[in-house]
Structure 1
């Protein structure tokens, strides 16, 4: 397994010089960060090369190219746009700048990486579950109960579990990660949540899947009882 992972990693690293040469000749680019699974040394057969590039001027763009058979994705942004994404708590951007590797160094890039590392360590501002969000989760659980013996139950239950995990990250002040990394990430952040999510994912019977889903949702809602709530009145334009 280790040799297989190494071969995938080696394939991407072999394409890195050509990708950087192409990136460095892009008009406006003056710094670049290598990020993503390959930059972490965790490449799979489906990984690509990911870069964040700093550019002059006031425009931003995204570009996909293929270099030596390897897909390459580049996000081009001026410094002020990167800082705006930091301020908006854009988890993906903060994580990439915090964990990435400078491959076209520049003091601006050094500063952004340091800022991202500080933000990553601090975590996002926790966002408590609102009454409207609580109601919606309970309503979705009840919808799942209604189709527990139908083939669509698996689809609905997994969709609700996905939204619940998104809410758990927000409520606890955890930086979001890609969904394929949830089990490993949650195993570190909260092993009980990781086990509850896994129970939904691996359940072979609808009743056990529904029970696991309700356990996960109750972690957020406290119980599955409806209570009074609603939005504030809003003027109709």
Structure 2
């Protein structure tokens, strides 16, 4: 199990035996997957230990604790819930199971890891930008234009960048979403032009430069920056 690496990696690995003992003692747990940056041998000073635990029964939960100064987070799920997240193309879950390491082995865990590897290799179903998302994109661009030369311009742009712009770009491209700290490296491999546009937004020295770069990214999704007619499908009111 040992992965040679930095002192931070070594510190986290040293806590593994005690952490696994605690996870294995949790009622219902019968298998565990070590996932995240430390499982890949990429830990830094701020890294924690992350696990997916398979449990018997009909409940799922999330727990966190600290062992020898190391923060630990554990996601507990029955197998059918993990497969439901696979079916929903939950990027985080599929990536964790595709890249993780079995530390409390079980055939159920082996099967899930194999399924995740196949799903990860195939990539998610591309999802075009919906009319409602296009409207929200245009709306936030207009809000950003209105806030130029005010202290909140950077906040307006950055607040929309992840949950709206980048998530939509990844969905439209048919790419598995990644954490924001990996956007640039990931996009350099997938779409260098998009990576460069994102770099301009993140590194802009002025509001005008930030706004211009932000609108370039938005146009990739909307094609234009004008309001158009649209509506969602009617839904029954409970």
TM-score range, shorter chain: over 0.9
Which runs of 5 or more residues in structure 1 are unaligned?
A: none
- TM-score, normalization: structure 1? 0.94
CA drift of 1:186 comes to 1.3
1:132-155 per-position Cα deviation (integer Å, ceiling 9, x unaligned): 211221121111111111111111
Question: Which structure 2 residues correspond to residues 27-66 of structure 1 after superposition, within 5 A?
Answer: 27-66=27-66
CA offsets per residue over residues 89-138 of structure 1, 9 Å max, x none? 11111110000000111111000000000111111111111122112211
In 2: Cα distance, 1:217 partner to 1:46 partner: 32
Superposed, 1:166-185 pairs within 5 Å as: 166-185=167-186
2:209 is equivalent to residue 208 of structure 1: yes
TM-score, normalization by structure 2: 0.93
More moved, 84-93 vs 221-230? 221-230
Q: Give the Cα separation in 1 of the matches to 2:237 and 2:28.
A: 46
In structure 1, the partner of 2:116 is 116
Q: Which residue number in structure 1 is paired with residue 189 of structure 2?
A: 188
The secondary structure found in structure 1 opposite 2:65 is strand
The number of aligned residues is 233
Q: CA deviation at 1:234?
A: 5.4
**Structure-2 separation of matches of 1:152 and 1:31:** 47
Which aligned runs of 4 or more in structure 1 are off by greater than 6 angstroms?
none
Mapped partners of 1:66, 1:222: distance in 2: 48
* 1:7-64 residue CA offsets vs partner (Å, 9 max, x unmatched): 0000000111111112122221111100001000110111111111111111111111
Map residues 95-114 of structure 1 onto 2, 5 A cutoff: 95-114=95-114
Tell me the alpha carbon deviations over residues 57-79 of structure 1, each in whole angstroms, 9 at most, x when there is no partner. 11111111111111111111111
Q: Which stretch has the larger CA shift, 133-142 or 93-102?
A: 133-142
CA contact (8 A) 1:36 1:100 kept: yes
Alignment-derived partner of residue 165 in structure 2: 164
Q: Is the 8 A contact 1:29 1:53 kept in 2?
A: yes
**Residues 32, 53 of structure 1: 8 Å contact kept:** yes
Q: In structure 1, what is the Cα distance between the partners aligned to 2:202 and 2:24?
A: 43
Distance 1:113 1:147, change over 3 A: same
Name structure 2 gaps, 5 residues minimum: none
Aligned CA distance change for structure 1 residues 93 and 232 (closer, same or farther; 3 Å)? closer
SS of alignment partner, residue 150 of structure 1: coil
Q: 2:11 aligns to what?
A: 11
Distance (Å, rounded) in 2 between the aligned partners of 1:130 and 1:191: 25
* 2: CA distance, partners of 1:235 / 1:63: 36
Distance of 1:134 and 1:153 partners within structure 2: 20
